[in-house]
A = this chain, B = another copy of it.
Amino acid sequence: MSAETPRQFHLNAFLMNAGHHDAAWRHPRTQPERITDLSYFQELARTAERGKLDSLFLADGVALWGNARYNAVGGFEPLTLLSALAVATEHIGLIATVSTTFNEPFHVARKFASLDHLSGGRAGWNIVTSGNVAEARNFGREEHLEHALRYERASEFLDVTKQLWDSWRDDAPVIDRERGVYSEEGAVSAIGHRGTHFRVDGPLNVQRSPQGHPLLVQAGSSEDGKEFAARYAEAVFTAQQTLADGQTFYKDLKSRLAKYGRGPQQLKILPGICPVIGGTEAEALALEDELTELQVPAYGLQQLSGMLGTDLTGLPLDGPLPDLPEEQDINGNKSRFTLVAELARREELTIRQLIARLGGGRGHRVFAGTPEQIADQLETWFTEGAADGFNIMPPYLPGGLDDFVDQVVPLLQDRGLFRTEYTGRTLRDHYGLERPAGRTAVAS
Contact = CB atoms under 8 A, between A and B. Distances in A.
A278 interface: no
A21 to B, nearest CB: 13
Interface in A361-381: none
| Copies of this protein in the complex | 2
B114 A77 contact: yes
A392 interface: no
Nearest to A176: B26
A62 B110 CA distance: 9
Contacts of A102: 104, 107
A172 interface: yes
Given A38-B87, A88-B87, A138-B202, A28 B177 contact: yes
A83 B114 CA distance: 11
Contact of A72 (B26, B182, B204): B182
A200 B182 CA distance: 43
Contacts of A86: 38, 84
A286 interface: no
A241 interface: no
Interface residues of A, number: 77
A104 to B, nearest CB: 6
Nearest to A35: B207
Interface in A67-97: 68-77, 79-81, 83-84, 86-88
Interface of A: 25-28, 32-33, 35-38, 61-65, 68-77, 79-81, 83-84, 86-88, 102-104, 106-107, 110-111, 113-115, 117-118, 134, 137-141, 168, 172-173, 175, 177, 180-185, 187-188, 198-207, 209, 294, 296
15 contacts: A27-B177, A36-B117, A38-B117, A62-B205, A64-B204, A68-B187, A69-B181, A72-B173, A74-B207, A75-B207, A77-B114, A80-B80, A81-B83, A83-B83, A84-B118
